[in-house]
Amino acid sequence: MKTLLTAVLVLLAPSVGSARQGRLPVWVSHAGKDQVGSLFVEAFNRELSHSTVYEPGGAGLKGPQFYAEFISIDPSEGGSERDHRSIVSVVIEEMGFPNGYPVEVMWYHKVIVVNRQTADETAKALLQDMDARWCQYNKNSIGGCPAEKFEPRIQ
């Protein structure tokens, strides 16, 4: 089933993407009231807008698309450590097939620690990690894909 869904995405992406220069839309949601988590999600959205592979999701788009859900918390109990870092859960699903109803398939889930000073660099690394996992997911093989940056990695 996974192979069939991936094949549909690969075959349809060029025809759907030609109107958007081949970029896949990524819808982003965030739950969490911590400052660093919010900064990180903003940085991730900026990285999406500069990406040659992905673009921020928008209304009225049809075809293959990803849904990225971020849930973040501040692990400190207050004091001087508050608002210095966050723990962020990232889940990404593929969904939305032309001429059909949305079918969600989770292909990415990681939990990462984000520091205030490195939120931008971590967002860029997350996008690279996302590319590496998507390559592994699509090819369903060990060779030929870039290494993932965050644990757990596909072996």
Res. 22: pLDDT tops 70? yes
Any domain includes 104: yes
Task: Please state the domain count of the chain.
Answer: 1
Q: How many helices (H) and strands (E) does the chain have?
A: 3, 5
Res. 85: pLDDT tops 80? yes
Q: ∠119-36-33 over CA atoms, to 5°?
A: 150
Any domain includes 32: yes
CATH number of the domain bearing residue 27: 3.40.50
Any domain includes 147: no
Res. 17: pLDDT tops 60? no
Task: Give the pLDDT confidence score for residue 9 in this predicted structure.
Answer: 43
Q: Which domain holds residue 48?
A: 2-139
- Report how far residue 111's alpha carbon sits from residue 87's, in angstroms, rounded to the nearest whole number: 7
Any domain includes 77: yes
Taking the model in full, what pTM does it have? 0.78
CB 90, CB 151: distance < 8 Å: no
Res. 133: pLDDT tops 80? yes
**When comparing pLDDT for 130 and 101, which is higher?**
130
Any domain includes 91: yes
Instruction: Take residue 109 and report the two structure tokens written for it.
Output: 């889930």
> Could you read off the pLDDT of 88-119 as tens digits, one per residue?
999 998 876 555 555 567 889 999 999 999 99
